[in-house]
Structure 1
Amino acid sequence: MSAEGWAGPALAAVTERVGVIERAVGDRFPLYADPADGTWTTTGRGAWTGGFWAGLLWLRALRTRAASDRRAAAACTARLEPWAGADTVTRGLILWYGTALADGAPTPGDLRAGAFGTGGRAGSGTGAATGTRAGSGTGAKTGTGIGTETGSETGTETGTGTGTGTETETGAGTETGSETKTGTGTGTEAALLLRDRAARALLADYDPALGIVPWGGAFGGPRLLARADGVPGTVPLLATVAPDAAADHLRHHLDLCLGADARTGARAGTDADTDTDAHIGIGPEPVPAWRHDGATGLWRPCDEPRPGWSRGRAWLLLAVADALLRPGVTARAPGRFADAARRLLALDGVLTGPLVPPADVHRPDGPLDTSAAAITAVALLKLARVPGERSGACADRAVAVLGELAGRHTADGALLDGCYEAGRGLAPRHELIWGDFFLALGLAALTGLVDLSHV
């Protein structure tokens, strides 16, 4: 299946959708939209999904080359600044994807010259903002947090429209201050500095005894968790300052989620008295979440999310692809990441099977998750850049998945049929902001707008 003829118009529709979302949510962060009336559930500080909204704004700036779009992206990224010091490994998702496209978006000077920028240049415009806001935003809303990523966050918060309201959120802190300031710079330099700060903060939280950056306590619950959604974004972000730590973080997650031997599924450092696979009934499916038992020093599988979580396997594949594109990371575990890629690619629904998986692969009649499909497509496009016998198959499958999403699951640029959390029935057939982002990123790669080796 060729992308010629449909990928460009599909990307244009998603780009236009960004403007619709922007007008609906104002200076808040979109999380998911009800397919019935289009109402967005939002959050004030972004939570774990904030980087995807910033990333969409940077993608729009890349495509339109408009200085106003660049300023909007820079301002959104600046509002993510409090997360750099938050105790959560999801800083990888937030501050990698919230900054990775900033040095590829055109600066005002580039706009006049008609060329794309290469990053790191200062110019005129609106610079980075710092601080967080308390008690203002669009719409009236109350609550704590913004929902759950299968147990990672608590509470819900909704609201669109105009007006002001108050809010309380857990996570990045409760400081108040000025949200924007005007100065020099295009936003690129500030975004790169924020990225570097976040990477060094992640490194400071790296636990050499466990070999990982723990899940963290920013969203409540146990801090010493290892989860599939704790590796995407974290691997490339950590690799910018410490490739060895990035490799260890991913390798130890793979040892748990896939097994210490990716070919046999044997798991090291787990409870030897428990037949893990039989206990949770997984067969070949990854075990996406683990809890460290301080009393025994062993890892035990969490009850939720359970094996079969399609987005969990997509997150793992994305992190492995990022590692394989970074020689400094791959060199720390020769062969391990390639073995993991082979095992994940062998799962039904990755290179074969349905193009859009159910949210829970053990419930084929349950809701689909188009966001899992979009993440998988981007991971496959990355793996297509890794020399090997399956690179062509990865590219073909990625194009087929993106074509299916654009042709059958998208309306006016909105990727529908995403499932936030199937077990609780939370947003089971909705537009999800990270689904929109990965669809846009995949389409941008197909049209040559971005180089996935650097995102």
Structure 2
Amino acid sequence: MNALKHALDAILRRVEHIERESGARFPLYRDTQRPSWTTTARGSWAGGFWVGLLWLRAVVWGQDTHKAVAANWTQRLLPRAEDDTVTRAMTFGYGAAVPHRLCGDATAAKIATAGARAVATSFDPRWGLIPVGTAFTQDRIPRAGVDALAGVVTLLSWAGQTELADRHTARLAALCVDQAGKVCAEVSLAGAPSDVRAWDRGHAWAMLGFAVAANHLGEAHLGVATKTAEWWLTHRPLPDDTSAAAIAAAALLTLPHDRYRSAGLALADRLAGRIDVNGVLAGGHYADLNSAEVIWGTYFAGCVLAVATGSVATLPW
């Protein structure tokens, strides 16, 4: 327990370092061979994880000044509601709906409502889901992807849009999960072959999404949630991509059975061993880097360590 607590404290101190370095911009990732973070003005697809980290710090440390900082960053997410991308659900789910669940913050509720409305509007009845969108791609081929599934379910269920969340989840299960529980993270909706193969973070995103769906939308989704979890435990007990491991740990801790909680806690313990004294979780895979510090990896590692140490009672999605 002491090692887990030390790792969590190191991550939260790391948040302060990243905050000073990034200034008014959203941190995205850092090549561990370089000192500086790659940042974005509007958060790209991962802005909600940075804001979520600021809220996690506020909850664990319990300081009003940190809550005010987090609330200010949440307000900065609002322009992302206009972007054509399902990753808006990540932005507004982790950056607004989850903080409202944690703290009851009125600002977070307002921003989450705007995000949920935008995401729900993107539901396409032709395919029975919310497509990936065109904000981060040069082509116009309609695609379905699992990356944002947990964010979609979290955000839409928070806003009372459970029917849309249920339909989106069921359709992704049919399109992206094979009989063995292996996940193809993204597929074409126009009959074109997909160039996205199974990959560790994609599978972890799916695990988390289906686990959250089983919690919020009912046991109809528990079968695919456990199937994808079992595939992971058999084939990827500790992947090279530490951000995938952190997401998978969050998924396992979200599932309702002791077997998965035990596996999630064991994975959290291994992750704690990868966090250095400065709070850096290296080993994230992104942008052709295999040893990056990535903001979503730090977020999920912080969340699972907060649960493992009892700093928060349960994962808030």
Please state which band the TM-score falls in when normalised by the shorter chain.
over 0.9
Aligned residue identity for 1:286: V
Partner of 1:376: 248
Aligned residue identity for 1:435: G
Kindly state the Cα deviation for residue 452 of structure 1 after the two structures are TM-superposed.
Answer: 3.6
- Which of 195, 205, 216 matches 2:122? 205
Q: SS where residue 17 of structure 1 aligns?
A: helix
Distance in 2 separating the partners of 1:287 and 1:37: 32
Alignment length, in residue pairs?
315
Decide whether the 8 Å contact of 1:370 with 1:415 is kept in 2: yes
Which structure's residues are more often helix, by fraction?
Answer: 2
- Which of 92, 99, 105 matches 2:96? 99
Q: SS where residue 428 of structure 1 aligns?
A: strand
Partner of 1:21: 18
Unaligned runs of 5+ in 2: none
Q: SS where residue 187 of structure 2 aligns?
A: strand
- Greater gyration radius: 1
Decide whether the 8 Å contact of 1:234 with 1:246 is kept in 2: yes
Partner of 1:151: none
Distance in 1 separating the partners of 2:234 and 2:176: 21
**CA-to-partner distance for each residue in 1:313-366, whole Å, 9 max, x for gaps?**
10011011111111xx22xxx63x22212321221xx32455421xxxxxxxxx
Decide whether the 8 Å contact of 2:74 with 2:108 is kept in 1: yes
Decide whether the 8 Å contact of 1:89 with 1:214 is kept in 2: yes
- Which of 74, 84, 101 matches 2:71? 74
Larger mean Cα displacement after TM superposition, 316-325 or 196-205: 196-205
Distance in 1 separating the partners of 2:314 and 2:183: 25
* 1:43 correspondence with 2:40: yes
- Which of 140, 145, 148 matches 1:222? 140
Distance in 1 separating the partners of 2:61 and 2:80: 28
Kindly state the Cα deviation for residue 454 of structure 1 after the two structures are TM-superposed.
Answer: 3.1
Partner of 1:182: none
Decide whether the 8 Å contact of 2:127 with 2:189 is kept in 1: no
Aligned residue identity for 2:109: L
Give the aligned CA root-mean-square deviation in angstroms. 1.9
Taking the TM superposition and a 5 Å limit, the aligned residue runs for 1:134-149 are: none
Distance in 2 separating the partners of 1:214 and 1:103: 26
Q: SS where residue 189 of structure 2 aligns?
A: strand
Kindly state the Cα deviation for residue 291 of structure 1 after the two structures are TM-superposed.
Answer: 1.4
**CA-to-partner distance for each residue in 1:396-455, whole Å, 9 max, x for gaps?**
11111111111135441111111015xxxx222110100000000101112223344532
Q: 1:8 to 1:317 in 2, by over 3 A?
A: same
Decide whether the 8 Å contact of 1:289 with 1:301 is kept in 2: no
* 1:58 correspondence with 2:55: yes
Q: Percent of pairs identical after alignment?
A: 37
Q: SS where residue 419 of structure 1 aligns?
A: strand
Distance in 2 separating the partners of 1:450 and 1:319: 21
Q: 1:70 to 1:19 in 2, by over 3 A?
A: same
**CA-to-partner distance for each residue in 1:246-278, whole Å, 9 max, x for gaps?**
01101111111114xxxx47xxxxxxxxxxxxx
- Which of 393, 396, 402 matches 2:259? 393
Partner of 2:281: 415
- Which of 171, 174, 182 matches 1:285? 182
Kindly state the Cα deviation for residue 231 of structure 1 after the two structures are TM-superposed.
Answer: 1.3
Distance in 2 separating the partners of 1:12 and 1:87: 37
Aligned residue identity for 2:140: P
Q: SS where residue 310 of structure 2 aligns?
A: coil
Partner of 1:271: none
Partner of 1:306: 197
What's the TM-score, normalizing by structure 2?
Answer: 0.93
Unaligned runs of 5+ in 1: 106-117, 120-187, 266-283, 294-298, 358-367
Distance in 2 separating the partners of 1:373 and 1:204: 32
Partner of 2:238: 356
Taking the TM superposition and a 5 Å limit, the aligned residue runs for 1:137-216 are: 188-216=105-133
Q: SS where residue 311 of structure 1 aligns?
A: helix
Distance in 2 separating the partners of 1:292 and 1:399: 37
Distance in 2 separating the partners of 1:223 and 1:413: 40
Decide whether the 8 Å contact of 1:199 with 1:241 is kept in 2: no
Q: SS where residue 291 of structure 2 aligns?
A: coil
What's the TM-score, normalizing by structure 1?
Answer: 0.66
Kindly state the Cα deviation for residue 91 of structure 1 after the two structures are TM-superposed.
Answer: 0.8
Decide whether the 8 Å contact of 1:214 with 1:223 is kept in 2: no
Decide whether the 8 Å contact of 1:381 with 1:394 is kept in 2: yes
Taking the TM superposition and a 5 Å limit, the aligned residue runs for 1:411-450 are: 411-421=277-287, 426-450=288-312
Decide whether the 8 Å contact of 1:325 with 1:453 is kept in 2: no
Q: SS where residue 129 of structure 2 aligns?
A: coil
Q: SS where residue 96 of structure 2 aligns?
A: coil
Q: 1:226 to 1:370 in 2, by over 3 A?
A: same
